[in-house]
Amino acid sequence: MTETTTVGSAAAPDGPRGSDELSVWPASTGRLPHGEISVGGVALTEVAERFGTPAYVLDEGEVRERCRTYRAAFPEDRAEVVYAAKAFLCRALVHWVREEGLGLDVCSAGELELAVTSGFPAERIVLHGNAKSPRDLDTALRLGVGRIVIDSASEVARLAAAVPPCETQRVMVRVLPGIVAGGHEKVRTGGEDQKFGLSLTDGSAQHAVARILDQPQLRLTGLHMHLGSQITTVKPYLAAVRRIVGMMAQLRSQHGLVLRELDIGGGHGIAYRPGEAAMDLTTLARKVRAELVSGCAAAGIGVPRLIVEPGRAIVGPAGVALYRVLAVKHTGNRHFVAVDGGMSDNPRPALYGVRYAPRLIGRSSRAESVPVTVVGRHCEAGDVLAADAALPPDVRPGDLLAVPVAGAYHLSMASAYNLVGRPPVVAVRDGRARLLVRRESLEDLFGRDVGT
């Protein structure tokens, strides 16, 4: 691994991508004649012709390399890397994550069932959720999930009552460290007055710990936190670790409790467009470790095993979304390019204001790029995939557009709005393309409608 690894950049910065224009694309990206682009040795126009559009392309090699980069930054002898499945999950990805030595973090019975039935060891899975359903907890206990993160005081009694007699369940407590961080207000989860976790400030977290210690069916292994998403600086993590170590020292003093694990969550920021900031993973790992060791030494407690939960930083930069242009129009001073997808396959621009850098592929244009608004096909004024995108002014119906950094929170947040089926996921590697998730058909959608 290089001295500094930025999780928003691919693992081979000197590869075939070349210019800054392709800096946010997978490391395997290559330029072909006539404006063509390849990923994983496969031309993107070939993927579009074979599987149709819209479609998600996922570079398997990039995903695996990012898993390895995390394992190198957080060595197994003192840390655990757990992939956050909410970013994207399918059976193939379950296999990739397992083979690369990562654990898995799930948020529902559905994600848990998919992982275990795909062969992932349940003991290496962490279950999250601020409002876990009875089915979530029953499934976790039935399958033998490794840890359950308790998110509210009421969950303590519910979970303890559900644990079978003569058995115990390992749990952690999600703590609010009171640190606000993240790229958008809707993804900042470490401060007060939001739905996740238990506050350090008002004593809710300490109260939950005391309740757990009164339940012999539950075994508290550590504390958990998650500050937010798209965090690009190390400072918030260091401040949060200091506060959590203080709580661990307090619990040691009050209860004689020695906690062996500290999960600092994920949220490591990536670059969606060239020039944007991204988390420096090497610096994060080094400084968090140093802060944890020094803080524990000062508090007179043992150093817990560190757990990190990257999701977006593993799969986000490995994905590319493909669209076909359906219409082009000029309205006032705006240049609109409408494509055959939209907010049903990527709601994130509407939800969080995420900005992408789409690219024309499959043909060359000598025209100088101009600001263009790439919009979707849905009946919403907010159905905008990319505002102020730099594209040639001669983009026309039938052209193909490719949008990089599309591997996280696209399919997992997709919908069937306007009864438009969700796109397929196609894996590319070593010059081969294969279908991982098929396109959702009208038959799939109509089959759920059983009323008369």
Identify the residue whose tokens are 């920021």.
269
* Residue 97 phi, psi dihedral angles, 5° rounding: -65, -40
In angstroms, the CA 81 to CA 75 distance is 9
**Residue from 112, 121, 106, 127 nearest 170 by CA:** 127
Identify the residue whose tokens are 């519910």.
158
One-letter amino acid for residue 270 of the chain: I
In angstroms, the CA 162 to CA 155 distance is 11
Catalytic residue among 90, 166, 296, 379: 379
In angstroms, the CA 43 to CA 228 distance is 36
In this structure, are residues 194 and 204 in contact, taking their beta carbons and an 8 Å threshold? no
State the pairing for strand pair 425-429/432-437.
antiparallel
Interacting residues of 377 by C-beta distance below 8 A, sequence separation 6+: 326, 338, 339, 340, 341, 342, 383, 418, 420
In this structure, are residues 54 and 377 in contact, taking their beta carbons and an 8 Å threshold? no
* SS3 state at 420: coil
**Cis preceding-peptide flag for 54 (omega within 30 of 0):** yes
| 379 is annotated as an active-site residue | yes
CA-CA-CA-CA torsion sign (137, 115, 318, 416): negative
State the pairing for strand pair 334-339/370-375.
parallel
Distance of CA 168 to the CA centre of its chain: 30
Interacting residues of 135 by C-beta distance below 8 A, sequence separation 6+: 109
In angstroms, the CA 387 to CA 353 distance is 9
Is 164 buried (19+), middle (13-18) or exposed (0-12) by CB count in 10 A?
exposed
One-letter amino acid for residue 70 of the chain: Y
Residues serving a catalytic function are 379
